[in-house]
Amino acid sequence: MKRYIVQFLLVLSFVFVLAACGETEDTAEGSEVETGKKYELRLGTVISEPHPWADMAKYFAEEVEKQTDGNVTVAIHANGSLGNDETMIEELRIGTVDFIIGGAQNAAAFVPQYQIFGISYLFEDMNHFEKAISHDSPLYDYFKTEYENRSLGMKLLSIAGGGTRYLSNNKGEIATPADLDGIKMRIPSSPIESEIWSALGALPTSLAWNELYSAVQTGVVNSFESTLSGYTGSKLNEVAPYVSLTEHLYMATHFSMSEATYNKLPAEYNEIIEKVAIEASELGTKRGIELDQQLLEELETLGVTTTEVDKQAFIDILTPLHGKLAEDSEATELLGIVRDLKD
């Protein structure tokens, strides 16, 4: 009797082994099938064309679809149709939006150190800025790690440029800090920018980008700062026809992805996405420079008055604030990284 029981148990064990092997083969086959699955993803941004972010988004969508043989498609939702930056980031964190291309300072509520890109006259020139935002720079590594440390539910794919930022208004020509005295100014949701423009005499108000046109039109604010592509793309020249060539900032752009989306995609698709996002950011930086040159030449035909400024007067007021502003935004370490990259 014992012999039969032993034989029965041996047969039963053999059956379980065969079942396990079959399950392993099915799982492997399932992984292969998963690779061929169709994924329809959404990318949000607040701007309208022409704009470097639009070029980035278009390149990214086309290349990802091409390199995944059509298995991953990316629908672009521009002009704030998915909400403002902070709304889209919240959606990104829960996985209802898959990608965002947005201003780094507008993500400061989630990553305070992004405010460092709001420190005026921090970078010596465009070469210094491009070196800092490169995907192989220590500054980029810092932000990528910060996303992970904060458990934000999103991944940083790349940091891009997007053009030089200038001051615009609907009151008249502004050439010196004294001309800003009492001017109501729109700023993004970055606390240090309030301190910067207050130091220059303006009265800052935080507003979402897609609220800016009506805010200037109705006198809620009189001035704002932006790239020329943002300025003309949103037709702000219609309500604020004065541009001061302050060149106080270089536009910093974050290209971020939902961690939930990343986790559901096959590894080979994520590799393609990460590679193409870096390429798209390099394109965005390049297009920002090109659009600056092109749009500066077109402003006069749009009825815009451009004003050369006493840039040194602005620098003399703002440079002594760099250390405090970095400390306030938890970015003292980053300030050191940026300064080390000057050489």
Domains of the chain: which residue ranges?
37-163+252-290, 164-249+291-340
Residue 107: helix, strand or coil by DSSP?
helix
Exposed / middle / buried, residue 86 (Cβ in 10 Å: 0-12, 13-18, 19+): middle
Angle at 129 between CA 317 and CA 275, to 5 degrees: 150
Q: With 80 as the cut, is the pLDDT of residue 4 above it?
A: no
Using an 8 Å Cβ cutoff, are 60 and 46 in contact?
A: no
Cβ contact 66:273 at 8 Å: no
Q: Report which of 186, 189, 152 is spatially closest to residue 168, judged by C-alpha positions.
A: 186
Give alpha helix (H) positions in the chain: 2-35, 52-67, 85-94, 126-133, 138-149, 191-199, 212-217, 228-233, 259-264, 267-298, 311-318, 322-328, 332-340
Q: According to the model, what pLDDT value does residue 191 have?
A: 79
CB atoms within 10 A of CB 140: 18
Residue 2 has pLDDT above 50, yes or no: no
CATH code, 164-249+291-340: 3.40.190.170
**What's the confidence (pLDDT) of residue 49?**
83
Backbone φ and ψ of 40, nearest 5°: -110, 110
Checking if the pLDDT of 330 tops 60, the result is: yes
Q: Do domains 37-163+252-290 and 164-249+291-340 have the same CATH topology?
A: yes
pLDDT in tens, 128-163: 999 999 999 999 999 999 999 999 999 999 999 999
Tens-digit pLDDT profile for residues 5-41: 444 444 444 434 334 444 333 333 333 436 568 999 9
CATH of segment(s) 37-163+252-290: 3.40.190.170
More confident residue, 1 or 295: 295
70-128 per-position pLDDT tens digit? 999 999 999 989 999 999 999 999 999 999 999 998 899 899 999 999 999 999 999 99
Q: What is the pLDDT of residue 258?
A: 98
Q: List Cα–Cα distances, 221 to 103, 149, 214, 216, in angstroms.
A: 20, 37, 9, 5
Cα 326 → chain centroid: 20
Terminal Cα distance for the chain, rounded: 86
CB of 208 within 8 A of CB of 84? yes
pLDDT of amino acid 50: 84
Whole-number average pLDDT of the chain = 89
Q: How confident is the model over 270-329, as pLDDT tens digits?
A: 999 999 999 999 999 999 999 999 999 999 999 999 999 999 999 999 999 999 999 998
Compute the distance between CA of residue 334 and CA of residue 330 in angstroms, rounded to an integer.
9
Contact 289, 161 (CB under 8 A): yes
Higher pLDDT, 49 or 145: 145
